[in-house]
Amino acid sequence: MSAQRPVIGVFDSGFGGLTVLREMVRLVPNAEYLYFGDTARLPYGTKSAETVARYALGACHFLESQGAEHLVIACNTATALAMDAITSYAHVPAIGVIDPGAAAAAALSKTRHVAVIGTEATIASHAYHRALEKLKLQAYEKACPLLVPLVEEGWIDHPVTQQVAEIYLQDAFLHKDQRSDVLLLGCTHYPLIRPLLRKVVPSDVAIVDSAESTAYALAKKLGVDPPPASASASGATHASGARAVTAPSAPDPRPGTPGFRFFVTDSVQKFRRLGAGFLGHPVDNVEHVDLGG
């Protein structure tokens, strides 16, 4: 990495991308991070491909205008529905969360069958199905639209959330011959309920979230040697090694202190208040922007 710190633009529909930012900061602390959360128009997960693509291109344009030299699409729905459009449109390199997540799942799966959960729009796009197929894996896909509102209600360790997760996942691990041995979290909100999901899925099923694997992809792209992974380089946990992802983890003592600027389209106060739970530390330097919506 050059002496010049890289400027990394991170985009999400709202808060979930902060779980990706948290992992990137851990792996690449010596950088300037610009985070754009399109909170006035969230959630993207229930919206059409055309609308999500339009919003995503506006966000990327804004981040470039603020000096971003790399774009991280830290939103599964936007990656699923607009990654091709973003790649064509952007003037700087862009990475999404789906390919790194799929690669991490592929590295772990022995049965070559992976269960993927996400928003309605992400699942309907079959973007994970395609990404896993390229890696010779089969996907079992399931939309779980209630999990994001449950996380945003703060019910991350609540019996209702567990019951909802059990309903959504009741058919996911039934097949004896073609059984998935990885649960891939295809939504950046889900790391907050990873301990709860750990209780719901069979103990021999690994849980992979793309936050950590995306952060590794970024580090690799920037030529930064990542520190030892907290659980594994793939972001996987088995029942025996569950991490408390809801608790802020102390940053590694690595050179350079990250710089942050946050841009949101809805209330700055609300982003400060709710964002800290996702990022794991206080959220400062938040500015309101209006992209004409």
* Chain contacts with a copy of itself (rule: CB under 8 A): 39-42, 46-48, 50-51, 145-146, 148-150, 152-153, 160, 163-164, 167, 265-267, 270, 292-293
Q: Which is nearer to a copy of itself, 64 or 266 (CB)?
A: 266
**CB proximity list for 256: less than 8 A, separation 6 or greater:** 5, 29, 30, 31
Q: Give SS3 for 209.
A: strand
Q: Closest Cα partner for 61 from 21, 91, 18?
A: 91
CB-neighbour burial class of residue 267 (10 A; exposed 0-12, middle 13-18, buried 19+): middle
144 given a catalytic annotation: no
Q: Least distance (Å) from a copy of itself to the CB of residue 121?
A: 10
Composition of the chain by helix, strand, coil, percent to 5: 40, 15, 40
Q: Least distance (Å) from a copy of itself to the CB of residue 146?
A: 6
Which residues lie across from 250 on neighbouring strands?
Answer: none
60 given a catalytic annotation: no
Q: Least distance (Å) from a copy of itself to the CB of residue 238?
A: 28
Q: Which is nearer to a copy of itself, 118 or 235 (CB)?
A: 118
Q: Which is nearer to a copy of itself, 33 or 278 (CB)?
A: 278
Buried b (16+ CB within 10 A) or exposed e, 218-241: bbeebebebeebbebebbbbeeee
Given the residues 25, 72, 75, 78, select the one marked as catalytic: 75
Q: Least distance (Å) from a copy of itself to the CB of residue 275?
A: 14
Q: Give SS3 for 49.
A: helix
Q: Which is nearer to a copy of itself, 79 or 119 (CB)?
A: 119
Q: Least distance (Å) from a copy of itself to the CB of residue 273?
A: 12
Given the residues 187, 197, 208, 274, select the one marked as catalytic: 187
**CB proximity list for 12: less than 8 A, separation 6 or greater:** 18, 20, 35, 36, 37, 38, 74, 75, 78, 188
**Cα distance between residue 183 and residue 128, in whole Å:** 12
Q: Which is nearer to a copy of itself, 67 or 149 (CB)?
A: 149
Active site residues: 75, 187
